[in-house]
């Protein structure tokens, strides 16, 4: 369908390729994490750009995500970052998705589904070294589960873990890394484990000793850092901008209150601009009266409650006209509004903000 609303999320694929090159360590593979529709950027387009830039595989959360990438013609390795849901194993294996494994039930279901497949699937065994979300735990059971995997007729394709606080706490990160190193050191040569990986974006950029055979990067390939200044220090470029256009303006007199709840009262006669974006598009209602929008290269404050489909912007005394560009995320002139800025005002993180840009906001691609 032809989009009629002047609202779009623009994704710079050249920035994706640049970021992959900036993050990928020499001599180490990079898995581009493209779950959640590539953090709202578009899974197929981002996957192709990342692979073209040197990523050697893709990471997804859902079997459905991996199958869609296969249907798009992508042949690179695709790792599901959680165990396959029960009942999905056969279809996932037929799509050549690489399974994560960390429970006996998961192993049994995978073994049953893999009967008759040649070669048998190679699983990546996940170790819980301190995140305590999913993974083999206590971590010292690793040799046993590796033996069980082989007894079940499956291959070991990898061994991995995940850091809980790599972007903010060195002590915790080094403690997890030490546990992982101890596990690796306790394995015999007969217990070949394939690809060893631990580093997320923060660890990739901050802890070279965590690189092993492969690193996994999600937020970084989109040009954002999980810690303040981490993206800028490493030359990463934000890939997504969110733009729309003013649909109506009016002069509203001093003393008037605007939008639902009348939470914003005007102290002076003011030009109020309406823009066609609201919380149904993923622009958080919690940004009401807090966030700013760029119009004519200047910051304009959100005025009143963000509604489902529209929001109001205080433009002071300027004679703003319908049709003028309004930037929610991105650069206009010398000013820039970042997803980190909006996330901070909304009391969340940029991951959530970007993933929350809804499907009714068209994505356009450049580069």
Active site residue 39: no
Instruction: Say whether 102 is catalytic.
Output: no
| Separation between Cα atoms, residue 67 and residue 90, nearest integer Å | 12
How many CB atoms lie under 10 A from the CB of residue 173? 23
Q: Within its chain, how far is the Cα of 275 from the centroid?
A: 27
Q: How many CA atoms lie within 13 A of 294 on its CB side?
A: 17
Question: Per the structure block, which two tokens stand in for 188?
Answer: 């015999």
Three-state DSSP state, 211: coil
Structure tokens at 316: 């002071």
Catalytic residue among 39, 250, 260, 351: 260
Q: Give the torsion sign (CA, 41, 43, 45, 46).
A: positive
Concatenate the DSSP letters of all residues of 281-342 into one string.
GT--GGGTTT-EEEETTEEEEE-S---SS-EEEE-TT----TT-EEEEEEEETTEEE-HHHH
Of the residues 35, 39, 102, 283, which is catalytic?
35
Helix (H) or strand (E) holding 271: strand 270-275
Q: How far is CA 276 from the centre of its chain?
A: 25
- Bond before 119 cis per omega within 30 degrees: yes
Beta-carbon contacts of 236 under 8 Å, excluding residues fewer than 6 positions away, are: 18, 19, 22, 23, 220, 223, 224, 225
Cα dihedral sign, 280-284-285-287: negative
- The one-character DSSP state at 127 is B
Nearest by Cα to 144 from 189, 191, 177, 176 = 191
Q: Which residues are catalytic?
A: 35, 260
């Amino acid at each position: 369908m032809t989009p009629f609303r002047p609202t779009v999320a623009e994704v710079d694929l050249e920035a994706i390729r640049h970021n992959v090159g900036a993050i990928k360590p020499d001599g180490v593979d990079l898995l581009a994490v493209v779950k959640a529709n590539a953090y709202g950027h578009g899974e197929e387009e981002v996957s192709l750009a990342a692979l073209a830039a040197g990523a050697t595989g893709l990471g997804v959360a859902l079997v459905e995500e991996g199958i869609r990438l296969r249907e798009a013609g992508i042949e690179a390795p695709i790792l599901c970052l959680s165990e396959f849901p029960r009942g999905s194993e056969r279809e996932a294996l037929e799509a050549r998705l690489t399974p994560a494994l960390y429970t006996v039930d998961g192993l049994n279901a995978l073994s049953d589904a893999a009967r008759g497949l040649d070669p048998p699937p190679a699983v990546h065994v996940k170790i819980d070294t301190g995140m305590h979300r999913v993974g083999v735990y206590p971590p010292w059971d690793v040799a046993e589960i590796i033996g069980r995997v082989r007894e079940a007729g499956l291959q070991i394709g990898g061994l991995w873990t995940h850091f809980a606080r790599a972007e903010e706490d060195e002590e915790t990160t080094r403690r997890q890394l030490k546990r992982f190193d101890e596990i690796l050191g306790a394995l015999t040569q007969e217990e070949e484990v394939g690809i060893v990986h631990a580093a997320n974006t923060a660890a990739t950029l901050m802890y070279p000793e965590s690189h092993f055979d492969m690193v996994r990067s999600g937020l970084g390939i989109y040009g954002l850092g999980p810690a303040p200044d981490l993206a800028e220090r490493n030359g990463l470029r934000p890939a997504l901008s969110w733009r729309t256009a003013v649909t109506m303006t009016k002069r509203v007199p001093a003393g008037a209150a605007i939008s639902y709840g009348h939470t914003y009262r005007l102290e002076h006669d003011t030009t109020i601009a309406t823009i066609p974006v609201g919380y149904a598009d993923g622009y958080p209602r919690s940004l009401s009266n807090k966030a700013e929008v760029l119009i004519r290269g200047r910051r304009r404050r959100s005025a009143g409650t963000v509604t489902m489909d529209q929001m109001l912007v205080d433009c002071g005394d300027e004679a703003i006209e319908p049709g003028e560009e309004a930037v929610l995320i991105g650069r206009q002139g010398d000013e820039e509004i970042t997803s980190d800025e909006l996330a901070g005002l909304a009391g969340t993180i940029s991951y959530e903000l970007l993933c929350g840009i809804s499907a009714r906001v068209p994505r356009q691609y450049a580069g």
